Amino acid sequence: MNILVLGSGGREHAFTWKIKQSPKCEKLFVAPGNAGTAAIAENVNIGVTDFEALGAFILENKVDLLVVGPEVPLVEGVRDFFEADAKYAGLKIVGPKQDGATLEGSKDFSKAFMEEYGIPTAAYKTFTAETIDAGLAYLDTMSTPIVLKADGLAAGKGVLICESHEDAKASFKEMLLEAKFGAASASVVVEEFLTGIELSVFVLTDGKDYVILPEAKDYKRIGEQDTGLNTGGMGAVSPVSFAGAEFMQRVEDRVVKPTIEGLKDRGIDYNGFIFIGLMNDNGDPKVIEYNVRMGDPETQVVIPRIKSDFLDLLEAAANGNLGNTSYEVYEETATTVVMVAGGYPEAYGKGDAISGIEAVDTATVFHAGTKLEGEQVVTNGGRVLNITGKGADLTTALENAYAGVNKIDWNNKNFRGDIGQDLLKLEK
């Protein structure tokens, strides 16, 4: 098969790394890719929303399978574009159409969907600039902390947790009146704060059947002890010790099944990944949000735990044949530590030369914000590298990941030194 992976982050490098291992993989392309994907596949200098250019490339290179990594092309209708034109009839796609992608593209849509199908989630209301006074009054009725979410896509940064009513009101006004997150915050979802411990559950579905992939826990805040600004993710761990068989059965019964059935009931032909952000509230799962793709950096710990041929799973999802497909998982623990540019998630520099990647022998290095300048790998984003260690237990996996981190250097690098420490305390 000839496969094209769409995207340029750590998630896409992990996809590429795993797909490359399949005997079915003949030619493997990544658009636009990064320095890591360039080492194992052919990077294609086409943007993820340049559908016309992608289409021309797909036809010219006889691409059989398109795997869409990030959410933006899905929300903008990449699948709809290709399925609307008969010349792409032979192309199989992993990723939902635009109507299904609205699960992530609109927080208000997803909350209303959960409410309609009885999927447990936080109480909420949605407001716009026209209803700001009602929103301010609603904030007064809520207990702190209060969660504010930009309705649209905001690159993983459109969620604020406000510790006081004053802070919530000021941020609410900034989002609606000053476009704090651009068009994404033209509508704002105000939510109750869920207590418990967070995890991510990943489902691959063909619209009828599904498989649940290994669960993970990620670390969103820039600072240790979960302090500071939200980021796209600073690290991840899989499996998650507090998500045992009984809890995961509740997740399947109360969240996964009604989500799949709700999509069918709505007439949404959903194919691809559903990433469910969950809170474990004393053993009860509650949905924080849906995403319509795999998580980043969670993919970098989920994919290395999949023992089976990942391309078989993707092909089955694309062909509507997941009901006849199973897969095996390594029992090992996987942990990833995200190395970021200094200043991230605010202003940061690019173009710094990275050294030491080739010296890492205890972990797998997944590239995110990198590019090649000649033979030199340089920084090209906020989240730069993901260092994934595996081991028989969490302690060993973390030791292997951080041993890799400590061999890599560039000017003004940053990373969290406490990934997984909360789970180690829970285990003890």
Written as one string, the DSSP assignment of 44-113 is ----TT-HHHHHHHHHHTT--EEEE-SHHHHHTTHHHHHHTSGGGTT-EEES--HHHHHHHH-HHHHHHH
58/50 Cα distance (integer angstroms): 12
Q: Is 8 exposed, middle or buried (0-12, 13-18, 19+ CB in 10 A)?
A: buried
Helical (H) or strand (E) element with 316: helix 310-319
Summarised one tens digit per residue, pLDDT across range 390-411 is 999 999 999 999 999 999 999 9
Distance CA 66, CA 19 (A): 12
Q: Are 184 and 105 in contact (CB under 8 A)?
A: no
The torsion angles phi and psi of 142, rounded to 5 degrees, stand at -95, 150
Which pairing describes strands 187-192 and 159-162: parallel, antiparallel, or unpaired?
A: unpaired
Percent of the chain whose predicted confidence (pLDDT) is above 70: 100
The rounded distance, in Å, linking the Cα atoms of 381 and 372 is 13
- The per-residue pLDDT for range 326-342, each reduced to its tens digit, is 899 999 999 999 999 99
- Whether the pTM exceeds 0.75: the reply is yes
Q: pLDDT at position 157, please?
A: 73
Could you check whether the bond before residue 32 is cis, i.e. omega within 30 degrees of 0? yes
Q: Residue 154 has what pLDDT?
A: 83
- Positive or negative, the CA dihedral 32, 33, 35, 38 is negative
